[in-house]
Amino acid sequence: MHIAPPPAGGRSFATTWWGRAWLRALEDTALDAGQLRRGRRYAREGAVGAMTVRPGRVTGVVRDPDGTSYRSDVLLQELDEAAWDRLLEVVADRAGHIAALLDRDMPAELAEDAAAAGVDLLPGIGDLEPECGCDAWDHCPHTAALCYQVARVLDQDPFLLLLIRGRDERTLLDELQARSAARTAGRAGDAVPDAAGASPERRPVPGVPVAEVFAAAGPAAPLPEPPPPVPAPGRPPALDGAGPAPGLDPAALEFLAADAAARAHLMLREALAPGHATAPVPPEPTRWQDAVRMIARADPDSPVTAAVAGRLTAGCGRGRTDLARAVRAWEHGGAVALTVLEEEWTPDAEALARARAGLAAAWREEERPPRLRATGNRWTAVGTDAQLRYGPDGRWWPYRKERGSWWPAGPADRDPAVALAALLTG
């Protein structure tokens, strides 16, 4: 998980008891109080860039005042399977523990119950092991600054502590749900020993039809008002000041975050539009369609867009010209226009007859209509650089020959004569 917290300013680094416990493990271990003071100052001044939190390790890039950046790591031992089993039993035993975690809270009783079961959730003296590119053998200002920032994010989400200990939130909740369901099922049945006196089996209790439950509840409460429209996509955090991070390109990550925000904004706008409930669900885009969509909606003059476009194109096994034509098609009509660019098929006889009739009616008697050569769904005006393509949506798409290839030349039209006339007169 990647996190980019803002500078702390004058605020405390930890306000929760578990955040303060994390800092005690740091401050009771470090041998040089001066290094800790420098680390606190670095953290407050925003010297810690984006952090990566994963099992057993937190990684961040920390800058010195002179601009030198160092990769810093803080290691905390993961819990083994036996310890996780005991911890999950403790949490599943009390529904309040699960509810507190979902509320981003960690009750002290949970840590006490875990300790009684032989599981230390929080680090103690010597548990936070530092590693830094500055080659310090103890906690240096860089690892100290990283620890102070970790305390801030632990304040907001104790699940991150459990992630460092070896379980991500989704996995942990799935395991807890499975244990809770098993216990509920066990309590719901009566113990019936078998004839040999072996361990009892559980007899299922008859269920209640859901229709009866709803009927007994009376009239349904009115639904709440839909959320208000959001005027613009949210702005993702700026990561360009984080310095180099192993395996990460901050600019590309910012690009993807901005794209995700724009897509979420569009999906919300569509969800709030009339008729959305009955609208068909669009098909999942292919990797190539998604790459073209992202580049078509990005800033074409940005060097970041150019760099990301190169990586996406290479990842899809395409070339620059392929991408340029595909982006132009997407700008004229999205996924349908891209399909028209890249696929060829033969329309049915009825559609072809309608097209010929429309073309024949487009010119006056004294005018000579262009001679068209049809190949599949593609109609080329002989002796010109103009072409029409019949799309799967029943519309005609104009194309113009450029540099020896056919390029999308505009949006589609239901009338083929209109689309062709725009090409021949443009």
Taking residue 218's Cβ as centre, other Cβ atoms within 10 Å add up to: 7
pLDDT digits (tens, 9 = 90+) for 331-387: 999 999 999 999 988 888 887 787 777 777 766 666 677 788 888 889 898 888 999
pLDDT digits (tens, 9 = 90+) for 81-116: 999 999 888 888 777 777 777 778 888 888 888 888
Q: What is the DSSP string of 270-338?
A: HHTSTTGGGSPPPPPPPHHHHHHHHHHTS-TT-HHHHHHHHHHHHHTT--HHHHHHHHHHHHHHHHHHH
| pLDDT above 50 (res 202) | no
Q: Which of 88-97, 206-215, 279-288, 352-361 has the lowest mean pLDDT?
A: 206-215
Q: How far apart are CA 73 and CA 128, in angstroms?
A: 10
pLDDT digits (tens, 9 = 90+) for 27-51: 888 888 889 999 999 988 888 888 8
Q: How far apart are CA 404 and CA 402, in angstroms?
A: 5
Q: Which of 65-69, 74-78, 176-180, 363-367 has the lowest mean pLDDT?
A: 363-367
Closest CA to 129 of 149, 111, 154, 146: 146
Which amino acid is present at 163?
A: L
How high is the pLDDT of residue 195? 47
Taking residue 192's Cβ as centre, other Cβ atoms within 10 Å add up to: 9
Taking residue 332's Cβ as centre, other Cβ atoms within 10 Å add up to: 19
